[in-house]
Amino acid sequence: MLSPEIIKQVKQIQIRTGRQVSDVLAGAYLSVFKGVGMEFDEVRPYVPGDDIRSIDWNVTARMGSPYIKRFVEERELTVLLVVDISPSLDFGSQERSKREAATELSALLAFSAIENDDNIGLLLFQNGVDEFIPPRKGQKHALRIVREVLARAEGADKPYEEAAGDTGFWRRLGAGLRKKFERLKARSKTQSRQTNIAQALEFCHQVLHRRAVIFLISDFLDEGYLDVARSVHRKHDLISVLVNDAREFELVDEGLLTIEDAETGEICEIDTSSKAFREMASKQAHARVERLRNVFNGAGCDLIEIDATKSVIDPLLAFFRQRQKRYR
């Protein structure tokens, strides 16, 4: 059962992000994410100027005059949020942690999708597939997704609760894939806590049969996932979202500190009073982000960079505008 605190946070996020979606994001989202194809709409009489390749010869023969097939863009999309819930996202140098920024971003995308009558789903992962909510429509479903992300942010480990519409999704996929998901989920509880992006993307590849928009939200403290990302992007629209914190790029002088690596659990001491050390750490952090930019650019994937200490909606809007210009 969800705690009163989580329920309160869900309501606050719904109010805050709902206003941003209705005022700012919905139009940008709609203009960027088009339908996955064309669907038949109607047959109507031919008029001068129509493309003769659209003529329906069967109807034309029956009616004795030319008729054409009219198609419209298939607007409905499937959007899947693939959200990293590994311990490294708990870091935050100001009021909001990287995990909280990822949660707010997830809510913005979920409510934008629902506003445009798209299907929205969720995959939570860390060292493996941790939770999967199949894509569906509706405000209640979007709220369920936000609740699930928040519950994991609070450290809750509740069993998977299957909604009424989920059973049909699993039936279409088959019992074999459902069993594989349960095995992956059980294995993730016994493995180390290091992030495993490749396994999450491989699962997406298997469960999404139609083209989808996939938002991969993580701090990307992992290696060896590029080949899988390329494979997923060939079939789907993979958009990577890098969540950082400003303090990761600029350490302050706090003297000798004992720190723990959130991914590996390794404990070490660092001397933040050393200017040379601070400069080295900053250089390495910037180099890592630059490598990620090059990696995703080489794979043909878009990359959105989110700073947990700043606005989440501004870089998302900038991405929408940039993509809109690219496809004009």
Structure tokens at 295: 């990696």
Cα of first residue to Cα of last residue in the chain, in angstroms, is: 47
The predicted pLDDT at position 260 comes to 76
Taking CA atoms, 63 is separated from 41, 52, 323, in Å, by: 19, 17, 45
Q: Residue 256: which H helix or E strand, with range?
A: strand 256-260
Q: Where are the domains of the chain?
A: 4-33+76-326, 38-74
Rounded Cα distance, 90 and 103, in Å: 12
The CATH number given to 4-33+76-326 is 3.40.50.410
Q: Residue 179: which H helix or E strand, with range?
A: helix 175-188
Counted residue by residue, the chain has a size of 328
The predicted pLDDT at position 306 comes to 95
Place of tokens 């629902």: 114
Structure tokens at 73: 């863009």
The predicted pLDDT at position 272 comes to 87
Structure tokens at 176: 């074999």
Q: What are phi and psi of 115, to 5 degrees?
A: -60, -30
Neighbours of 201 (CB within 10 A): 24
Place of tokens 């109010």: 15
Specify the 3-state DSSP secondary structure of 156.
coil
Query: Which residues of the chain are under the pLDDT cut of 50?
Result: 1, 159-160
Specify the 3-state DSSP secondary structure of 65.
coil
Taking CA atoms, 234 is separated from 29, 100, 131, in Å, by: 22, 30, 24
The predicted pLDDT at position 160 comes to 44
Helix then strand count (H, E) for the chain reads 11, 10
Residues whose CB falls within 8 Å of the CB of residue 285, separated by 6 or more in sequence, listed in order: 248, 249
